[in-house]
Chain A
Amino acid sequence: DTAVSQTPKYLVTQMGNDKSIKCEQNLGHDTMYWYKQDSKKFLKIMFSYNNKELIINETVPNRFSPKSPDKAHLNLHINSLELGDSAVYFCASSSQGTGNTIYFGEGSWLTVV
């Protein structure tokens, strides 16, 4: 079973659309994250949630809205998509019980045309 799973893996959409990426972890972790990897492979944290509470909110346009219905899920909704939003978005999770190791999903490749 996949530990951190995110859907869809690939998404091509037009500018101005609204889209969501879903993430689920079955590791029993209490903290979940969204990371963005740009075309130059640079990784940057966007958000983190601990037990459904927002902990980290980096400088991200408010078109991006994370939602955590429970501690096993952290979804990312993006409004009014722009060309610059094209990137790979990684969901991840961790727990202090795992020695603070962060486990990543396989990524969602978003292309805005």
Chain B
Amino acid sequence: AQSVTQPDIHITVSEGASLELRCNYSYGATPYLFWYVQSPGQGLQLLLKYFSGDTLVQGIKGFEAEFKRSQSSFNLRKPSVHWSDAAEYFCAVDINAGNNRKLIWGLGTSLAVNP
């Protein structure tokens, strides 16, 4: 069955430090890949996405992610974390095309930022 794994439930980093959030998926083909962020009490905001082409994708707020087919991974990175980045981060995989689309979600990684 298709699945998305975010191995780190909770991560704490210091402000200004670099960040990498891991995401692995299980799917036979190359899916569409997404990272969303959810700030406390807020909805889900799209950070970035990968459909095809360049495997390093740039997103909003200084985030980037790299698709590695051999590792079935789509890790999210940021070179210097800001306190406002504290939030819940979700990796998602779209396994269907056309109108019958369905996102499979990871369980999220909660990011805390120390001043």
Contacts and interface: CB of A to CB of B under 8 A. Distances in A.
Contact of B103 (A31, A45, A107): A45
B102 A42 contact: no
Interface residues of A, number: 24
The 4 closest A-B pairs by CB, nearest first: A106-B43, A104-B44, A50-B99, A43-B105
Interface of B: 32, 34, 36, 38, 42-46, 49, 51, 88, 90, 92, 94, 97-103, 105, 107-108
Nearest to A106: B43
Nearest to B100: A55
B74 to A, nearest CB: 15
B103 A56 contact: no
A42 to B, nearest CB: 6
A41 B46 contact: no
